[in-house]
Structures are given as C-alpha cells and as structure tokens.
Amino acid sequence: MKVTVDEDRCCGAGQCVLLAPDVFDQRDEDGIVVLLDPAPRPDLHEAVREAAEVCPAAAIEIAEGP
C-alpha cells in the first residue's frame, strides 16, 4: 500500500489522525495533514482505508499493492 495526501485539499478535520495516528499527524501551525508513513505496515491498512473513506475533503489517496 502506498499513501499520498493532498495538503491543499485538507481541511484539518483530524479524522485520519483519530483512526491511524501512526500514519497521519497534523502540522503544529495550521492543523493540516502530515503523512508520517507513506508505506504503512499491513496491520494498519484497514484503518488507513477507513481514514481515506471518511476524510471529508478527499485528501487521502491510496494505491493498493505490495
């Protein structure tokens, strides 16, 4: 799995951090998404998929694969 985030789209709702705190964080100055791990380990994949699904700004993209 490869994860990318779009900082321009992000509205800082923080859902991704709630669901997958090891993969996502938010910038100190404006709360915009920070990608901590673009290639998360398999046991985090389900949480990352849910984070992308509930992101209100569609700012998380996932490419599934080895």
Partner 1 sequence: MSAELFPMRRAPGCPFDPPPAARAKQEEGPLARVGLWDGSTPWLVTRHAEQRALMADPRVSADITRPGYPSSAPIPPGGTSISFILMDDPEHGRLRRMVTAPFATKRVQALRPAIQRIVDDLVDELLAGPNPVDLVDAFALPVPSLVICELLGVPYADHEYFQDSSKTIVKRDVSTEQRTAAMGKLMSYLDDLVGTKMEHPADDLLSGLATRVEAGELTRSEAAQMGVLLLIAGHETTANMIALGTLALFENPDQLALLRDSDDPTLVASAVEELLRYLNITHSGRRRVATADIPVGDQVIRAGEGLIMANDIANRDAEVFPDPDRLDLRRDARRHLAFGFGVHQCLGQQLARLELQVVYSTLYRRIPTLELATDLDKVPFKHDGAVYGVYELPVRW
Q: Is 54 in the site for partner 1 (CB under 8 A)?
A: yes
Q: Which residue from 66, 40, 26 is spatially nearest to 50, judged by alpha carbons?
A: 40
Nearer to partner 1, 13 or 62 (CB): 13
Q: What token pair was written down for 2?
A: 């490869």
Nearer to partner 1, 15 or 66 (CB): 15
Among 2, 4, 6, 27, binds partner 1 (CB under 8 A): 27
Report whether 33 contacts 61 (CB < 8 A): no
Q: What is the residue type of 9?
A: R
| Residues of this chain that bind partner 1 (CB under 8 A) | 9, 11-15, 17-18, 21, 25-32, 50, 53-54, 56-58
